[in-house]
Amino acid sequence: MSDQFIDGVHLELTSLIQLRQIALQLAARAPRTAVKTHAGAELSRALGRGLDFAEVREYKAGDDIRMIDWKVTARSGTAHSKLFHEDHEKPTYFFVDYRQCMHFGTQKALKSVLAANMAALLALS
């Protein structure tokens, strides 16, 4: 990250774009599964009403009748319903300290710039 700091005082768009590339590489290495119950972009282990198909199973009382797979039902003779992976959101907040104590740092960058870059990297990954 040391080559990213142009003047060490300001955040630069080029450094944030580089951070985004690093974050994409890190995210590609680890599959993520949500544990929260909010709808969003992360796949969950829970089966429900998402967009990503999971499996077809025999119809159980309480299943949504709109999810009945009529082709499988016609072939097997018993009602089957489609199950999907539920999508979940993982809300995350990052707070960066911009008090006076963050307005000094190394020869390369201020502590506030380093903290903002780290928060951006965490937020993008």
Q: Give Cα 109 distance to the centre of its chain.
A: 29
For residue 73 the two structure tokens come to 């039902």
pLDDT in tens, 91-108: 788 898 888 888 888 788
Contact status, residue 80 vs residue 72, Cβ threshold 8 Å: yes
DSSP of 11-38 = --HHHHHHHHHHHHHHHHHS---B-S-S
pLDDT at residue 3 tops 70: no
Instruction: For residues 50 and 99, give the distance between their C-alpha atoms in angstroms, rounded to a whole number.
Output: 43
More confident of the two residues 68 and 20: 68
Instruction: For residues 74 and 94, give the distance between their C-alpha atoms in angstroms, rounded to a whole number.
Output: 52
Q: Give the pLDDT of residue 44.
A: 47
Q: Give the pLDDT of residue 31.
A: 64
The domain locations on the chain are 2-124
Name 110's Cβ contacts closer than 8 Å, sequence gap at least 6. Answer: 8, 9, 102, 103, 104
Torsion of CA 14, 15, 17, 18, to 10 degrees: 120
pLDDT in tens, 39-95: 555 544 556 667 788 889 999 998 888 999 999 999 999 999 998 887 767 678 889
